[in-house]
Amino acid sequence: MANPRQATRDGQKTHSEFASSSGLTPAILLAGVRKLAKDWKYDAASFGYPGPVCHNQPLAEPFNLGKGWVGFDFRAAFKRPVKIINDAAIQALGSYRRGRMLFLGLGTGLGSAMVVDGVLEPMELGHLPYKMATFEDYIGIRGLEKYGKAKWRKFVADVVKRLVAALEPDDVVLGGGNIHKLKVLPPGCRAGDNDNAFLGGFRLWQETNARQDSTRRTSRLDKHKRLQIVATKKTEELPA
């Protein structure tokens, strides 16, 4: 996660990226990031990973990238603390405003996550059954290529309607690379932005710090309560 003061020049944000391909591996990513961030000062890194993540580690190799991601030691490679979550989840975290927010990413598949009262919950809604296959078979890139834009847009509207009815969110954000292929957004939805992933990367660490502060406060409170209980018991044991 780059220091924002290093990521701006003359008050303007700078955008840095390098070309990736289906052969992208952790080693290539590491080399690219090091080159782009060679003049930056940063304390930690956040990654949005295109696949399922558990306990800060990828669970499976990505469908559209090279191999070697599962088991790769990102912390050792960057020599800094690293947090890894699903790529849809990191965009969801950066898009969050209030209440119960549902994020759906229209890309290669169907990315999904919810944020409820500030708590992020990555999801895999794209694999749920729909018609003769799954949601992402119809509104992911395969559905777009197979059925064409007109039918694909109808599928998107229908899937969003079904998920909203089931999950009852207060806010719905549609993101991903194919959102621009929609003529109009489904009712009650707003458009996301890939730049929100950057904000999500920062919020990921803010969320961790908030949890740590809360844990410390709870620990102090519990300790105080234990002291009160011990003091009460000792008082009760004193002879009359």
Each residue's pLDDT tens digit, 112-123: 999 999 999 999
pTM of the model: 0.77
Sequence-ordered alpha helix ranges (H) in the chain: 26-36, 74-78, 87-95, 135-139, 141-167, 196-237
CATH number assigned to the domain covering 1-80: 3.30.420.40
Domain with CATH 3.30.420.40 in the chain: 1-80, 87-198
- Give the separation between CA 163 and CA 177, rounded to whole angstroms: 20
Which distant-in-sequence residues (6+ apart) come within 8 Å of 112 by Cβ? 88, 102, 103, 104, 105, 122, 123, 124, 125, 126
The topology (CATH level 3) of 87-198 is Nucleotidyltransferase; domain 5 (3.30.420)
DSSP-based three-state secondary structure for 84: strand
DSSP-based three-state secondary structure for 171: strand
The string of pLDDT tens digits covering residues 1-41 is 434 444 444 445 666 777 777 889 999 999 998 888 888 88
